[in-house]
Amino acid sequence: MRYNRDDVLAQAHRLVADHGLGALTMRRLGAELGVQPSAIYHHFANKQTLLAAVAEEILVRGRRARTATHDDWTGRLREVCAELRDAMLACTDGADIVATVWAFGMGVRAPADELEAILRATGVGDELALVGSRTLLHYVFGHTFEEQTAIQAISAGAVERELDSLPDFWTGLDVVIDGLRSRVEAAVRA
């Protein structure tokens, strides 16, 4: 049985979603598909390339149509950040995987590019648009990594902790956006 790239990627995503990042090895993926690891290397040159494709798949599956109702830039930033968070939460170890591939510089650029474009359209300047996009991304990665790691560890019975403090995603996001707002307003005044 021959598998094309999409088949291999779908199985890799399923493996991670069901068993976590630790289960994603070329050997195990080959066993699940009933092929030699070499058949996987035909589509993905190495483990990093496969991981990057899984991360991209996590974002693609979480993609939502943009609402046209946000006439201000802060609502559009919130929409992109919420989509990224939800996409990562929807797959076991999703935050770890997407943040790792982002750090590798191997893809998952869509949310960062979209945040940057929204900020640039405010007239805030290229440098702040870039740093602002990265700051939002780091906040979302940091918050979602905590949220997902806690949820998974509690669900596995590995730790005891209350989740009370975790539903503060939106408040924290608004703090970051307020920090950007003061710079956007200063740029617009200038």
Q: Where on the chain is the footprint of a copy of itself (CB under 8 A)?
A: 48, 99-100, 102-106, 130-132, 134-135, 137-143, 145-147, 149-150, 153, 158-162, 165, 168, 171-172, 174-183
- Min dist. Cβ of residue 8 to a copy of itself (A): 21
- Phi, psi (rounded to 5 degrees) for 16: -65, -45
**Is residue 112 within 8 Å of residue 133, measured between CB atoms?**
yes
Compare residues 86 and 178 and give the one whose CB is closer to a copy of itself: 178
- Please give the structure tokens belonging to residue 35: 């092929």
- Min dist. Cβ of residue 119 to a copy of itself (A): 11
Alpha helices of 72-168 — where are they, by DSSP H?
73-89, 94-104, 110-120, 126-155
- Min dist. Cβ of residue 174 to a copy of itself (A): 8
Helix, coil or strand: residue 90: coil
- Min dist. Cβ of residue 173 to a copy of itself (A): 8
Residues 6+ apart with CB under 8 A from 15: 23, 24, 28, 29, 32
Compare residues 11 and 49 and give the one whose CB is closer to a copy of itself: 49
- Please give the structure tokens belonging to residue 44: 């993905």
DSSP state of 69: -
| CA–CA separation, 166 and 98 (whole Å) | 20
- Min dist. Cβ of residue 78 to a copy of itself (A): 14
Compare residues 35 and 106 and give the one whose CB is closer to a copy of itself: 106
Compare residues 18 and 168 and give the one whose CB is closer to a copy of itself: 168
| CA–CA separation, 51 and 42 (whole Å) | 15
Compare residues 110 and 150 and give the one whose CB is closer to a copy of itself: 150
